[in-house]
Chains A and B, each alone.
Chain A
Amino acid sequence: DAGVIQSPRHEVTEMGQEVTLRCKPISGHNSLFWYRQTMMRGLELLIYFNNNVPIDDSGMPEDRFSAKMPNASFSTLKIQPSEPRDSAVYFCASSSSGLTPYNEQFFGPGTRLTVL
């Protein structure tokens, strides 16, 4: 399996621009998580989906952030308009609710976002 795929790997944009981050979870996984990593706040959850349905978006910082999961193999995280304080590494992770309760989350390589 290719693992969790994220694109782009790096994104540099100017303040006010729209940014869209993409994630393809591992095939067969039915849970998808978006995390953000910053020096100040560490790794924090933004939103997660189970079976394509958003379960908890309380970590989404503002209305400028939105996330969708139109099908089991694709999710997007959009920031509009972007601000310099959104600069961070954004990770996508997926996991499976299979028969075992031991379901670790597999992380993608992350997208490093820089907003100038």
Chain B
Amino acid sequence: AQKVTQAQTEISVVEKEDVTLDCVYETRDTTYYLFWYKQPPSGELVFLIRRNSFDEQNEISGRYSWNFQKSTSSFNFTITASQVVDSAVYFCALSENSGNTPLVFGKGTRLSVIA
């Protein structure tokens, strides 16, 4: 069975600090997809990134970066120079085979960025 663990329930940082959100996953599939979603206080779920199991290249998008390490089954998310607008709940998710299968979500990490 697939499982996603986000061990950090809540994180609080001061603005401009860097912060890393951890994600560890379990799956027996050789092909799978990993995702990060953001849920701001308004409640919607916003897609941030996807990664397939064959692509271990790290990715950077502005202040966001993701570190995928298959050897440790981790897909961590780092926000550099955090801002108050980054305050949200962040979910890591896993799906098998393709994006047309259901997402298995972690419990989420609530990030609070204090001015």
Contact = CB atoms under 8 A, between A and B. Distances in A.
A35 B108 CA distance: 15
Contacts of B105: 42-44
A106 B50 CA distance: 12
Interface residues of B, number: 21
Given A42-B107, A43-B105, A97-B98, A102 B45 contact: no
A60 interface: no
Given A43-B105, A101-B52, A31 B100 contact: yes
A14 interface: no
Interface of B: 33, 35, 37, 43-45, 47, 50, 52, 91, 98-108
B7 to A, nearest CB: 14
A54 interface: no
B103 A45 contact: yes
Interface in A26-84: 30-31, 33, 35, 42-45, 48, 50, 56
Contacts of A45: 102-104
B45 A91 contact: yes
